[in-house]
């Protein structure tokens, strides 16, 4: 049962549901000294380092790489961005930095909908609250993910 609970928490974090509203601290918006025009491979290398720093929970390095022009929405080979990884792992300072610097949080697209459906089919319990006491359904409603709301309300495929 602990495995399914972890699936729900991980799935919710991947969806950006558990951490989007976490904390009361104001995000730190960083100004980049560049004009945003970093050449191709140099940008890719910078973005890779940013994701790696996020995975290492190195907020100082993340801030430095954002200032250097790193893209907070860049993804690694398994499609994790700095924001998604920080949310999944509970790296709140890194999460705040990515949010304040343009992280795309409008999760809820077809891939995320599929994840929710798979988690429910595997027996995940969407009523388990996140650290703020909100369920996946409450977070999906709060964030306007109407299709995910519909999926959660419908329950697992066998219950439909």
Q: What is the DSSP string of 17-82?
A: TTTTT--SSPP-PPPPSS-S---HHHHHHHHHHHHHHHHTT-HHHHHHHHHTT--TT-B-TTS-BH
Among left, alpha and beta (phi > 0; psi -120 to 50; other), residue 36 is: left
User: What is the pLDDT, as a whole number, of residue 13?
Assistant: 45
Tell me, what DSSP letter sits at residue 7? H
- Sequence-ordered list of residues with C-beta below 8 angstroms from that of 153, at least 6 positions apart, any chain: 137
Q: Long-range pairs for 51-55 at CB < 8 Å and ≥24 separation?
A: 51/75, 51/76, 51/80, 51/81, 51/82, 51/85, 53/82, 53/94, 54/82, 54/83, 54/85, 54/86, 54/91, 54/94, 54/98, 55/80, 55/85, 55/89
User: What is the pLDDT, as a whole number, of residue 140?
Assistant: 85
Between CA 17 and CA 83, with CA 5 as vertex, the angle to 5 degrees is 30
| Position 158 pLDDT exceeds 50 | yes
Its pTM stands at 0.53
Share of the chain above pLDDT 90, in %: 31
Cβ atoms of residues 22 and 98 within 8 Å:
no
| Position 127 pLDDT exceeds 60 | yes
Among 14-18, 52-56, 94-98, name the most confident range. Answer: 52-56
Cβ atoms of residues 128 and 15 within 8 Å:
no
- Among the ranges given (40-44, 102-106, 113-117), the one the predictor scored with the smallest mean pLDDT: 102-106
User: What is the pLDDT, as a whole number, of residue 38?
Assistant: 62
Provide the pLDDT confidence category of residue 144 given band limits of 50, 70 and 90.
Answer: confident
User: What is the pLDDT, as a whole number, of residue 29?
Assistant: 55
Q: Which residue has the higher pLDDT, 33 or 157?
A: 157
Q: What is the mean pLDDT of residues 5-22?
A: 43
- Sequence-ordered list of residues with C-beta below 8 angstroms from that of 42, at least 6 positions apart, any chain: none
Q: Which residue has the higher pLDDT, 54 or 28?
A: 54
């Amino acid at each position: 049962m602990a495995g399914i609970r972890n699936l729900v928490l991980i799935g919710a974090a991947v969806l950006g549901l558990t951490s989007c509203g976490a904390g009361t601290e104001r995000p730190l918006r960083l100004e980049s000294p560049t004009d945003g025009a970093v050449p191709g491979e140099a940008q890719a290398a910078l973005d890779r380092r940013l994701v790696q720093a996020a995975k290492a929970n190195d907020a100082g390095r993340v801030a430095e790489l954002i200032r250097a022009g790193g893209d907070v929405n860049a993804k690694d080979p398994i499609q994790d961005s700095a924001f998604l990884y920080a949310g999944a792992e509970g790296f709140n300072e890194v999460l705040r930095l990515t949010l304040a610097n343009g992280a795309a949080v409008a999760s809820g697209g077809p891939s995320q909908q599929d994840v929710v459906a798979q988690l429910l089919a595997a027996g995940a319990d969407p009523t388990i609250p996140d650290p703020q006491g909100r369920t996946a359904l409450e977070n999906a409603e709060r964030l306007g993910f109407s299709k995910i709301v519909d999926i959660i309300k419908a329950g697992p495929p066998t219950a439909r």
